[in-house]
Amino acid sequence: MEAPANVHPNYKVSFESVVLYIPDLMILENNEWFNDKILSFIGEYLMIRIADRKVHVFLPPETEMIRHAKGEEEVEMFFGMLEVHLKPVVAFIVNNNEDVTRANGGSHWSLLVFDRKTDDFYHFDSANNYNHAAAEALMEKSRWLVGQEDGTRKLIAVKCLQQENGKDCGVYVANFLHALCEHQNVEDIGKMERIVLPRQAWRDLILSFGTFGDF
């Protein structure tokens, strides 16, 4: 595997807790399915730089821990200190992986959002609600964590932009999340008429944080 054009083999990209190496960056070069590390980078960047932490974004590894937790007590033990029950909007990057021992498992990404204003969970899926079961299971494990007042409310599947191939779900999730973080308005996602930030835009953004590492 070759490094992206004009990039040294020891090149790496980091933002906060997320570090991407050449194999991750090649996904951006080769038009491949976004892995959990790329979406973690994007999620953390949008939460901090765009939303100024007014939206809390649970990254893919965290989302998987919540969805596969044994119960609310375990979720609280790992994530209660984040106090997301004080945030007006909480977003979760969802994957349909059912094997927690498998890295980069699953086949599809979508976005689950809790809006405190309406006390509802909303699901945005670019593949005709393919991830509904995974999003619903995640919602059930997250009700207490986010401080939902009515724990009987149903998951709302929102009509949104649909992908045209089998590998761009991550690009759509990144754009949905960007729309949410810009104004902290859940309704903005459903109003999107086109992808504003294509794969190339995310590639350029991510590479702008690159450094040379000794590893």
Domain span at 175: 11-204
Whether residue 214 lies inside any domain: the answer is: no
Residue in 176, 148, 147 with CA at minimum distance from that of residue 161:
176
Q: How many domains does the chain have?
A: 1
- Asked if residue 2 belongs to a domain, the reply is no
The upper half-sphere exposure of residue 119, i.e. CA atoms within 13 Å in the direction of its Cβ, equals 8
Q: Do the domain assignments include residue 184?
A: yes
Residue 6, CA atoms < 13 Å, CB-side half-sphere: 2
Which letter does DSSP use for residue 32 in this model?
Answer: P
* Domain assignment of residue 210, yes or no: no
The CATH number given to whatever domain includes residue 28 is: 3.40.395.10
pLDDT tops 50 at residue 105: yes
Domain assignment present for 211:
no
pLDDT of residue 103: 63
The verdict on residue 215 lying in a domain is no
pLDDT one-digit tens code per residue, 121-180 = 999 999 999 999 999 999 999 999 999 999 999 999 999 999 999 999 999 999 999 999
The verdict on residue 6 lying in a domain is: no
